[in-house]
Amino acid sequence: MKYLKSPCFNFLAFSLLISGFSGCSLNKIAANKTSQIIDTGLPSFYRETNTKLAKQALPANLKLMEVLLETTPKNTLLLKNLAQGYCGYSFMFEEDESALLASGLYLKGMDFAFRALEKKRLVKDSKIDASLIKAKDVPEIFWYVFCKTSWINLNRDNPDAIAELPSIIPLAKKIEELNPSYYYNGIYSVLGAYHVIRPRMFGGNPKKSKEYFIKALHGEGEQFLLNRFIYAKLYAITMQEEELFDKLMEEILNAPENKLPETNLANETAREKASALKEKRNELF
């Protein structure tokens, strides 16, 4: 990810340049330029260490992006950032508070990702065609898969949700093939979640789940503490592996100084979630 830079962009000169355009064209040019500035600046948000500040600030920024999208509905950059934003907000701040609200936000993020994939012509007959996916499409595919897996996890008692699980695999496997390190090995956490969420009689495989979670902890994924948190919450608790749970909790809560500043917000969130989860240990095992 690029760090936030002061945009080399003279708004006065820009306004004079486009003053001859129609209002519609002016709006689209301004919206497209603003979406690029937002994309360049997002890493500054991810470097935030104050989770309360981030929770308060993110909704307004998401609504701003939605306003811009009204003017430029084909802007795949906005659609991708909205998908990531809603998925991240739901996971970090709402999932532990309200499963119903979090589910709705995951569906919203999923919709934005799907719309981006439609604009990129990766959708046929209302379904994403995995055979068309290229390396450049991984971000949109990843956030679609992440949102969908998270939504299913919150709705495990719904047979219709569980029935959606198989549709994840072709897309997840494509990401694993093209760019498995995207978002700190995130696809390995998704695949780990998939194999532990899915009932064994329908293809779930706890052994594979553990293998994928271990893969998620290598490379940059090692310092991304949410990978450990998901591993503990979905695998260790489900499989009742107390020692593993305790080990992961300690690794999160006593992690060394972060060498990837852009993971600050995610890591601080992971610590807070781990602390709260650890307090419920006696109820979980």
Per residue in 3-13, pLDDT tens?
334 344 444 44
- Topology (CATH level 3) of domain 28-156: 1.25.40
Q: What 8-state DSSP symbol labels residue 2?
A: P
Q: What is the pLDDT of residue 209?
A: 97
Per-position pLDDT tens, the chain of length 285: 333 343 444 444 444 344 444 455 767 887 788 878 888 878 888 999 999 999 999 999 999 999 999 999 999 999 999 999 999 999 999 999 999 999 999 999 999 999 999 999 999 999 999 999 999 999 999 999 999 999 999 999 999 999 999 999 999 999 999 999 999 999 999 999 999 998 888 778 999 999 999 999 999 899 999 999 999 999 999 999 999 999 999 999 999 888 889 999 999 999 999 999 999 999 999
Dihedral of CA atoms 129, 134, 137, 139 in degrees, nearest 10, equals: 110
Residue with tokens 């503990």: 232
Classify each residue of 216-246 as buried b or exposed e, where b means 16 or more C-beta atoms within 10 Å of its C-beta. Answer: bbeeebbbbbbbbbbbbbbbbbeeebeebbe
For residue 199, the SS3 value is coil
